[in-house]
């Protein structure tokens, strides 16, 4: 059977473990089977400890909870939601919420997680980090949380800025002082960042250019013709 199988995507730097494949296969071959629920729950914990991520498997589990609400585990759901926050800018968090009953969403820790997601969705990073600090017990059970959110912040910054003032960056990734210097140094060596002096007001960070922060780079798709269309005139050209 040539079914598509989604390989576990590494979040940060991890390697997929051996069990993961079998769970992914279960989801691919038999997505509507209540018997795989315990496997999927274990797989969530496995994703947490091994810093891997599989949206498909987690949605499959939420779907089973939706079908049989009495089997739902709030602890597992909250872990899925933290993982989904870490997948930002992908819309995974909303995808999960669509499947979780409203009365469950009104309880803790879900209320907090929804607030955190709201801050990230509206890029209010200061408020986000403050709120996250108040709720360490919820988010710190999942390793790699901070780095994942920082990666999201950098993603949004790179869409928006060619040159970002140091304090703006510091606030977004919640790193300051010497740690920030070290972080910048690392980015300069590995990611093509450049540091500049702004007119008398501290440092400017030049982010690598892409078609979103430099629209001139955008490939003019209006002028190109897909190959399939060209093939139509092949007989003429020949």
Partner 1 sequence: MAASYDYEDPSHYDTDSITHRPQQDQQPYDPTFVPDSVKTFVVHLYRHIREKNVYEIHQMYEGSFQKLSDRLFKDTPWPSVEAVAPYVDHDHVFCLLYKEMWFRHLYARLSPTPKQRIDSWDNYCSLFQVVLHGVVNMQLPNQWLWDMVDEFVYQFQSFCQYRAKMKNKSEQEIALLRQYDQAWNVYGVLNFLQALVEKSMISQILEQEKEGLEQFTATDGYDYNGGSNVLKVLGYFSMVGLLRVHCLLGDYHTGLKCLKPIDISQSGVYTSVIGSHITTIYHYGFANLMLRRYVEAIREFSKILLYIFKTKQYHQKSPQYEQILKKNEQMYALLAISLSLCPQVKLVTEDVNTQLREKYGDKMIKMQRYDDEAYALYDELFSYACPKFITPSAPVYEEPLVNYNQDAYRLQLKLFLYEVKQQQLLSGVRTFLKLYSTISIGKLASYMEVDEPTVRSILMTYKHKTHVVDGDGKVTSNADIDFYINDDTIHVVESKTTKRYGDYFMRQIIKLEEIISDMDRVKLD
Other C-beta atoms lying within 10 Å of the C-beta of residue 71: 12
Stretch that binds partner 1, among 75-83, 121-129, 131-139, 187-195 (CB under 8 A): 121-129
For position 151 contacting partner 1 by CB under 8 A, the verdict is no
Other C-beta atoms lying within 10 Å of the C-beta of residue 32: 9
For position 31 contacting partner 1 by CB under 8 A, the verdict is yes
Stretch that binds partner 1, among 15-23, 92-100, 142-150, 173-181 (CB under 8 A): 92-100
For position 212 contacting partner 1 by CB under 8 A, the verdict is yes
Count of positions on this chain that bind partner 1 (CB under 8 A): 65
For position 133 contacting partner 1 by CB under 8 A, the verdict is no
DSSP state of 86: H
Is 194 in a helix, a strand, or coil? strand
Is 169 in a helix, a strand, or coil? helix
* Minimum gap (Å) between residue 188 Cβ and partner 1: 18
Phi, psi (degrees; rounded to nearest 5) at 183: -60, -45
Stretch that binds partner 1, among 12-20, 66-74, 133-141, 184-192 (CB under 8 A): 66-74
For residues 134 and 139, give the distance between their C-alpha atoms in angstroms, rounded to a whole number.
Answer: 10
* Minimum gap (Å) between residue 77 Cβ and partner 1: 15
CA-to-CA dists, residue 38 to 16, 34, 58, 59, 230, angstroms: 19, 9, 12, 14, 52
For position 97 contacting partner 1 by CB under 8 A, the verdict is yes
For partner 1, which residue of 168, 181, 183, 195 counts as binding (CB under 8 A)? 168
* CB distance 27 to 60 below 8 Å: yes
Other C-beta atoms lying within 10 Å of the C-beta of residue 141: 13
For position 2 contacting partner 1 by CB under 8 A, the verdict is yes
Helix axes 37-50, 55-67, angle to 10 degrees: 140
Task: Please give the residue ranges that form the binding site for partner 1 (CB under 8 A).
Answer: 2, 4, 6, 9, 31-34, 55-56, 59-60, 63, 66-70, 89-91, 94-95, 97-99, 101-102, 118, 121-124, 126, 155-157, 159-165, 168, 171, 198, 204, 212-216, 218, 220, 222-225, 229-230, 232-233, 235-236
């Amino acid at each position: 059977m040539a079914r598509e199988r989604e390989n576990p995507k590494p979040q940060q730097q991890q390697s997929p473990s051996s069990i993961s494949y079998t769970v992914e296969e279960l989801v691919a071959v038999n997505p509507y089977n209540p018997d795989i629920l315990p496997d999927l729950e274990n797989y969530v914990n496995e994703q947490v400890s091994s810093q891997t991520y599989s949206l498909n498997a987690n949605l499959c589990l939420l779907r089973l909870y939706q079908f049989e609400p009495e089997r739902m585990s709030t602890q597992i759901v909250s872990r899925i939601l933290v993982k989904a926050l870490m997948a930002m800018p992908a819309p995974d968090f909303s995808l999960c919420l669509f499947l979780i009953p409203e009365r469950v969403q009104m309880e803790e820790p879900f209320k907090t997680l929804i607030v955190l997601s709201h801050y990230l969705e509206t890029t209010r990073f200061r408020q986000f980090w403050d709120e996250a600090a108040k709720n360490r017990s919820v988010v710190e059970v999942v390793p790699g949380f901070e780095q994942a959110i920082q990666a999201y912040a950098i993603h949004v910054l790179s869409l928006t800025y060619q040159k970002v003032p140091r304090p703006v960056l510091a606030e977004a990734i919640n790193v300051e002082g010497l740690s920030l210097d070290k972080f910048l140094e690392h980015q300069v060596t590995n990611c093509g960042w450049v540091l500049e002096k702004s007119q008398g007001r501290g440092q400017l960070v030049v982010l690598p250019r892409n078609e979103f922060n430099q629209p001139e780079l955008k490939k003019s798709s209006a002028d190109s013709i897909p190959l399939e269309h060209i093939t139509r005139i092949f007989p003429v050209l020949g």
